[in-house]
A = this chain, B = another copy of it.
Amino acid sequence: MLESIQETAEKIRKLEIQGARNVAIAAIKTIEVLAKHTQAKNKADFLKELSKAKKTLFVTRETEPLMRNAIRWIMNRVDKNNSKKVKDIARTVSSSANQFLNNLERSREEIATIGANRIRNGSVIFTHCHSSTVTYMLQKAKQQGKIFEVICTETRPIFQGRKTAKEMLDLDLKTTMIVDSAARHFMNQADIVLVGSDAITSEGNVINKIGTSLIALAAHEARTPFYVVSELLKFDPATIHGDYEKIEERDSSEVWKDPPKKLIIRNPAFDVTRRDYIHGIICEEGIISPHSTMEVVRRKYPWVFE
């Protein structure tokens, strides 16, 4: 049944599945399938299968702490199960997978509710790239009858800002698109900046789509509040141990299809936004100071550190 794991891993690697939530959900589901159909004869064999699955999924992409935390959670539950029966363990996989998905869903609702409270009537929201958590939260605010408009960057090189723009127009919001470079030019017209997050480090910094840190800097210069909207489980425990959050570097053809010879194209997918530029992280525990993230995660999800 490990083929299904490998297939999913492949899809993640090739970006056929993308977005931190989608990736985490796919990984969980494929492990669940593995557990359901395992033919392992004893606990030891089953644990080996699980461990292999974990490794396979962990290496797919560098900046996927949510997916890794999902798998950590399942493995943690499995470790705590003393039964020697494969079936029991498999059931634990299944139930813990469900718990994770439910928690993810609940977090998303809570974040949307909390964030929507922050939207003021008549305000102008600036956003960058596409984040399903941000757009879900804006949808909630709209449903509450709030009136606001959105400025989105196009988000080179692969124009995820267009996806955001379409979703905003579908919500019937006044929507403006600009090139990434125009962020400072329009910053004084924005009332609040909202972005998602790919990873949060132990220092309280946020890794997100390339360009986020530049927008944060411009927001800081203009005294425009800058918020990160994110599940706490984007926290990456590897950073505690001094590992740099690796910045994935993607194919140069995304930037220029037929570049001149010898031209070096650098295409990092993310950058690091310093905690000092972030007013707050809107997460399932409320709006918190990024400086305290690690302690909040320790309190809420202690198993991440085990």
- Chain A residues proximal to chain B, CB less than 8 Å: 113-118, 120, 153-157, 162, 165-166, 169, 174-188, 201-204, 209-211, 213-214, 217-218, 221-224, 239-244, 247, 255-256, 259-268, 271, 275-276, 279-280, 282, 285-292, 294-296, 298-299
Contacts and interface: CB of A to CB of B under 8 A. Distances in A.
A116 to B, nearest CB: 7
Contacts of A291: 204, 289, 291-292
A214 B263 contact: no
Most buried by B among A182, A265, A290, A298: A182
A190 B285 CA distance: 34
14 contacts: A117-B244, A153-B181, A155-B181, A174-B264, A175-B263, A177-B255, A177-B263, A177-B266, A179-B210, A179-B255, A183-B214, A184-B271, A185-B247, A217-B217
Given A185-B271, A259-B177, A242 B287 contact: yes
Contact of A295 (B113, B280, B296): B296
| Chain A interface helix/strand/loop/mixed | mixed
A184 B275 contact: no
Given A185-B268, A213-B184, A262-B169, A289 B292 contact: yes
B256 A177 contact: yes
Contacts of A261: 169
| In the complex, the 9 A-B pairs of residues with the closest C-beta atoms, listed nearest first | A181-B211, A240-B286, A117-B242, A114-B242, A291-B291, A222-B223, A289-B291, A176-B264, A156-B179
